[in-house]
Amino acid sequence: MSQLENNKSRKRKKKKKSLGFKIFIGFLCVILAIAIVGGGYVIGLLNKMDNIKLNKDNLGIVEDEFKEYDNVNKVKNIALFGIDATDGETGRSDSIMIATLDPVHNKLKVTSVMRDSYVSIDGHGQDKINHAYAFGGPELAIKTLNENFGLNIEHFISVNFSSLPKIINILGGIDLEITDEELQYINGYINDINAKDGTNSSHIGYSGVQHVDGTQALAYSRIRYTSGGDYERTQRHRTVLDALFNKLTSTPVSSYNSLLNEVLPYVQTNLNAADILSLGTKVLGIGNNLEQDRFPRDGYGEGAMIDGVYYLTFDKETIKKQMRDYIFNDVK
Residue ranges of domains in the chain: 3-15+163-249, 24-161+263-329
Mean pLDDT within 109-138: 94
pLDDT beyond 60 at 20: no
Q: Where are the beta strands (DSSP E) in the chain?
A: 50-51, 76-84, 92-102, 107-113, 118-121, 125-128, 155-159, 174-178, 208-212, 267-269, 290-295, 301-306, 309-314
pLDDT value of position 38: 55
pLDDT class for 17, splitting at 50, 70, 90?
A: very low
pLDDT value of position 288: 67
pLDDT beyond 70 at 162: no
Helix (H), strand (E) at residue 149: helix 131-149
pTM: 0.73
Length of the chain as a residue count? 332
Task: Decide if domain 3-15+163-249 falls under CATH 3.40.50.10740.
Answer: no
Mean pLDDT within 84-98: 70
Mean pLDDT within 216-232: 81
* CB count in 10 Å sphere of residue 10: 11
As a whole-number percent, the residues of the chain with pLDDT over 70 amount to: 78
pLDDT value of position 14: 38
pLDDT value of position 327: 95
Mean pLDDT within 292-301: 92
> Does 24-161+263-329 match 3-15+163-249 at the fold level?
no
pLDDT value of position 13: 37
For residue range 32-45, list pLDDT tens digits in order: 555 555 556 656 66
For residue range 266-277, list pLDDT tens digits in order: 778 998 877 877
pLDDT class for 311, splitting at 50, 70, 90?
A: very high
pLDDT beyond 60 at 171: yes
What CA–CA distances, in Å, run from 321 to 107, 290, 296? 20, 22, 11
What CA–CA distances, in Å, run from 160 to 19, 107, 110, 118, 197? 8, 27, 19, 24, 16
The amino acid sitting at 125 is G
Maximum CA pair distance of the chain? 59
pLDDT value of position 7: 44
The verdict on whether omega for the bond into residue 296 sits within 30 degrees of 0, i.e. cis, is: yes
pLDDT class for 134, splitting at 50, 70, 90?
A: very high
Nearest to 226 by CA among 215, 239, 235, 218: 235
pLDDT class for 164, splitting at 50, 70, 90?
A: confident
For residue range 176-198, list pLDDT tens digits in order: 999 999 999 999 999 999 998 89
Question: Do 137 and 123 contact (CB within 8 A), yes or no?
Answer: no
pLDDT beyond 60 at 6: no
pLDDT value of position 3: 43
pLDDT value of position 143: 98
DSSP label at residue 251: S
Pick the CATH number of 24-161+263-329 from 3.40.1010.10, 3.60.15.10, 3.40.50.180, 3.30.420.590: 3.30.420.590
pLDDT beyond 90 at 135: yes
Average pLDDT along the chain: 81
The dihedrals phi and psi of 9, each to the nearest 5 degrees, come to -65, -40
Distance of CA 185 to the CA centre of its chain: 22
pLDDT value of position 21: 38
